[in-house]
Chains A and B, each alone.
Chain A
Amino acid sequence: LNRFRDMSLKRKLTAASFLTSAAAVLLVSFLFTANGVQADREALTRQLTSQAGILGFTVVPALTFRDERAAKEALAALRAERQIREAAIFRQDGSLFASYLRDGESSGLPAVPAGESEQMDFFAGSFALTRPIADEHGRPLGSIYLQTDLATMRSRIYRTLAFNASVLGVSLVAALAMATLLQREISTPVLDLVKTARTVTLEKDYGVRAAVRGRDELGVLVESFNEMLGEIEARDAQLRKVNQQLHQRTEELGRKHEEVEAFVYIVSHDLRAPLVNLQGFARELRMNCEALAERLAGAPLPPEQAAKIRELTDHEIPTSLRFISASSDKFEKLINALLQLSRSGRRELAIEPLDMRALVKATLDSLMRLVDESGAEIVIDRLPPAHGDATAIGQVWSNLLTNALRYLQPGRKGKIFIRGESHDGFCRYQVQDNGVGMAPAAQHRLFQVFQRMRPDLAEGEGIGLATVKRIVERHGGHIWAESTEGMGTTFTFSLPAGLRKEGISE
């Protein structure tokens, strides 16, 4: 059965229909043959019985009058019947009265018992019949024995068998031919479907279609399959398109990002050179001015002129130079800040598991002087571990804590809460202070570069929070602030709790 299961569909269908029709034809021809044989036997029996009856009736006077001659003559008439091989008439006591032999030797007469009824026996190619003989009053006189050879019947049976066999053969060939032809109706669409499915699987070509050949279940199947392919093809195309767009956009974004990085880098470098000159030559001028003042000190000049020159060399020129120096120093600081920001965006992040509590404590230790000066109370609550770059996240904490400490409300005891929670695969960390807070209008500028909220309270270039935002976002997190003027500010940032690759690098 397993071999049948692994056969090709074509063979299976052919075999199934051929075997079915073969079984039917075989059964029918067997039944016909058996029926024919049975009918032949019955006809033979009938014929022999009636012959024995007639013959028996004919020899009644001979038996009655013990005329053996007449009986023998009556039997000799059997010569007309070619198939009767041997015949005999027995007396009532079982002794032989007369006999007939067609040719050759006798195959042996039976010991015939005086029976009341007929006896029939098929044996060794012969059929024998014994029938009682009675007179008109029904008195038993003896019996008649007829033996016939079965050659005629046999040859008829053989003819029937041969005919049946040839009919059978022709039928089987016809059945095979029909099965082979008809199985195509089923197997061709199925094989076509299989071929299409294999093309799709192997070549990932969703553009192929199986041919529809009819309106039957197979036709419906093929049609549904084609429809499915069509849908997949459409989705595939759409997916490819979207993917391509995404790829393009990512590339574009990356390119723009690189451009911006290069721009910041080049600007901050190229701006430095003239700036350095500006600073250098301002210094030169200051020295020249001092030398000039020294030389003029000994020069004989009218007092009014000398006072005017002294005013220039001692006050006006140095003041101008001081402003030039101060401005260019400020300029340099801004450029350095820009460079630092650009570096924080380009530095490769080394993502590792972070013990946030240890990191916060270490950060606070490094800010010890600021903490002591502020006199603030710092409370560290639960801080779940996260994944991130230790240096970068340390910088985030350092910036946020420095801000909290620097912008405390003067005259109010500072309180800073540090806490964290994990939620939905992200860890959130908070730095809450009771400092000066911010006006709502100022809050949207908080994370922008060079924005200073309270220059009166602390110095800086205004890139701290911009850097923090970049770092957090490069980690795949977010940062935001809630603030009430005069009440305090809360910074919250989130980081992925689990391990992940660096997100879209800023």
Chain B
Amino acid sequence: MIQEQQTEILLVDDDGGNSELVRRNLQRSGIRNPIVILTNGSEALDYVFREGRYAGRASSHLMILLDINMPGEVDGVEVLRRIKGDPLRQRIPVVMLTTSDDPREVERCYALGCNAYMTKPVEPLAFIEAVNRLGLFITVLTVPAEAAK
């Protein structure tokens, strides 16, 4: 299947280190999709809804890796609620990231309509598997080792 536009992977986590590790791991696994790292919920909402400093952003296919616990007024759950409550964006796949497998948190995420959840640290293989399960197509290129920075 040929997509005109590559799916953008949005990493939202207040822990930038985690996102950076995820980014590196995904790239090392051969994922060539553009990866955007954001560190708080309201910025993520601006990005998804193309508001604020992202008002002029070109629309794109998105898939979001969203940390459930983030400081500030908009945490991961709120971002999830807003996305799943918007008719135009409710079909954006959202994978929730949690530090625990606390059943209450997991239940809450599924109740709000998240597509999958993963516990940190994110294993690239588990991520790709989750993506496949969601029926998403992500460009995975097998590249020589030198190509990977």
Interface residue A29 (Cβ < 8 Å from any Cβ of B): no
Mark each residue of chain B from 112 to 128: 1 if its CB lies under 8 Å from any CB of chain A, else 0.
00000000110000000
Q: Is the CB of A284 within 8 A of B18?
A: no
Is A273 among interface residues, defined by CB-CB distance under 8 A? yes
Interface size on A, residues (CB 8 A): 11
> Is the CB of B100 closer than 8 A to any CB of chain A?
yes
Q: Is residue B32 within 8 Å, beta carbon to beta carbon, of the partner chain?
A: no
Query: A273-B15, A273-B18 are contacts. A280–B99 as well, Cβ < 8 Å?
Result: no
Residues of A within 8 A of B21 (CB): 276-277, 280-281, 284
A272 interfacial by beta-carbon distance below 8 Å:
yes
Question: B144 in the interface, Cβ–Cβ < 8 Å?
Answer: no
- Once A272-B120, A284-B21 are accepted as A-B contacts, the answer to whether A277 and B15 lie under 8 Å apart by CB is yes
Give the most central of A274, A279, A280: most B CB within 10 Å: A280
Q: In chain A, residues 261-319, which have Cβ atoms closer than 8 Å to a Cβ of chain B?
A: 269-270, 272-274, 276-277, 279-281, 284
- CA of A279 to CA of B99 in the docked complex: distance in angstroms? 15
Task: List the B residue with the shortest CB-CB distance to A272.
Answer: B99
Instruction: Indicate if the CB atoms of B24 and A284 lie closer than 8 Å.
Output: yes
| Docked pose: A220 CA to B7 CA in angstroms | 97
Nearest neighbor of B24 in chain A, beta-carbon distance:
A284
On chain A, the residues within 8 Å of B18 by CB distance are: 273, 276-277, 280
Q: Which residues of A contact B99 (CB under 8 A)?
A: 269-270, 272-273
The residue on A at minimum CB distance from B100 is: A269
Closest residue on chain B to residue A291 by CB atoms: B145
CB-CB nearest in chain B for A280? B21
Report B14-40 residues with CB < 8 Å from chain A CB. Answer: 15, 17-18, 21, 24
B contact patch SS: loop
A276 with B24: CB separation less than 8 A: no
Give B72-113 as 1s and 0s: 1 = Cβ < 8 Å from A's Cβ atoms: 000000000000000000000000000110000000000000
- Whether the Cβ atoms of A276 and B121 lie closer than 8 Å is yes
Chain B residues positioned under 8 Å from A281 (CB to CB): 17, 21
Q: How many A-B residue pairs have CB under 8 A?
A: 28
CB distance from B21 to the nearest CB of A (A): 4
Q: For residue B25, which residue of chain A has the nearest CB?
A: A280
- Taken together as a complex, chains A and B put the C-alpha atoms of A281 and B17 apart, in Å, by 8
Contact A277 B17, CB 8 Å, known A272-B120, A284-B24: yes
Known contacts A273-B15, A273-B18, A280 near B121 by CB under 8 Å: yes
In the assembled complex, which residues on chain B have CB atoms less than 8 Å from the CB atom of A284? 21, 24
How far is the CB of B66 from the nearest CB of chain A, in Å? 15
Query: Which chain A residue lies CB-closest to B18?
Result: A277
Docked pose: A274 CA to B16 CA in angstroms:
10
CA gap between A160 and B68 in the complex, in Å: 115
Residues of B within 8 A of A270 (CB): 99
Chain B min CB distance to A266 (Å): 10
Residues of chain B within 8 A of A279, CB atoms compared = 121
Provide the bound-state CA to CA distance between A273 and B67, in Å. Answer: 11
Residue of A nearest to B17 (CB): A277
In Å, the complex CA distance between A269 and B120 comes to 11
CA distance A472 to B47 in the complex (A): 53
Docked complex: A174-209 residues within 8 A CB-CB of B:
none
Instruction: Quote the shortest CB–CB distance from A339 to chain B (angstroms).
Output: 8
A258 to B: closest C-beta gap in Å: 15
How long is the Cα–Cα vector from A276 to B99 in the complex, in angstroms?
10
Q: Give complex CA distance A487, B15 in Å.
A: 52
Residues of chain B lying within 8 A (CB to CB) of residue A277: 15, 17-18, 21
Nearest-neighbour CB distance to chain A for B145, whole angstroms, equals 9
- A280: chain B residues at CB < 8 Å are 17-18, 21, 121
B78 CB to nearest chain A CB (Å): 19
- The answer to whether A273 touches B24, judged by C-beta atoms less than 8 angstroms apart, is no
Task: Name the residue of chain B whose CB is nearest to the CB of A269.
Answer: B99
Chain A residues near B17: list those with CB within 8 A: 274, 277, 280-281
CB distance from A195 to the nearest CB of B (A): 58
CA distance A5 to B24 in the complex (A): 100
Distance (Å) between the CB of A506 and the closest chain B CB?
19
In the bound complex, CA of A284 to CA of B18 (Å): 12
Q: Bound state CA distance, A284 and B15, in angstroms?
A: 17
Closest to A339 in B: B100
Give the distance in Å from the alpha carbon of A276 to the alpha carbon of B120 in the complex. 8
A270 to B120, CA, bound (A): 12
- CB-nearest residue of chain B to A276: B121
Point out which of A269, A272, A273, A284 has the most chain B C-beta atoms below 10 A from its C-beta.
A273
Most buried by B among A270, A277, A281: A277
Of chain A, the residue at the smallest CB distance from B145 is: A291
Tell me the complex Cα distance, A259–B6, Å: 47
Q: How far is the CA of A139 from the CA of B90 in the complex (A)?
A: 158
Residue of A nearest to B22 (CB): A280
User: Given the complex of chains A and B, what is the CA–CA distance between A284 and B24 in angstroms?
Assistant: 9
Which 10 residue pairs spanning A and B have beta carbons closest together? Answer: A277-B17, A280-B21, A276-B121, A269-B99, A273-B15, A272-B99, A269-B100, A276-B120, A277-B18, A273-B99
Chain B residues close to A by CB (< 8 Å)? 15, 17-18, 21, 24, 99-100, 120-121
* A interface with B by C-beta (< 8 Å): 269-270, 272-274, 276-277, 279-281, 284
Given contacts A272-B120, A277-B15, A277-B17, 6 further A-B contacts (CB under 8 A): A273-B15, A274-B15, A274-B17, A276-B120, A280-B21, A284-B21
12 CB-based A-B contacts, threshold 8 Å:
A269-B100, A272-B120, A276-B21, A277-B15, A277-B17, A279-B121, A280-B17, A280-B18, A280-B21, A280-B121, A281-B21, A284-B24
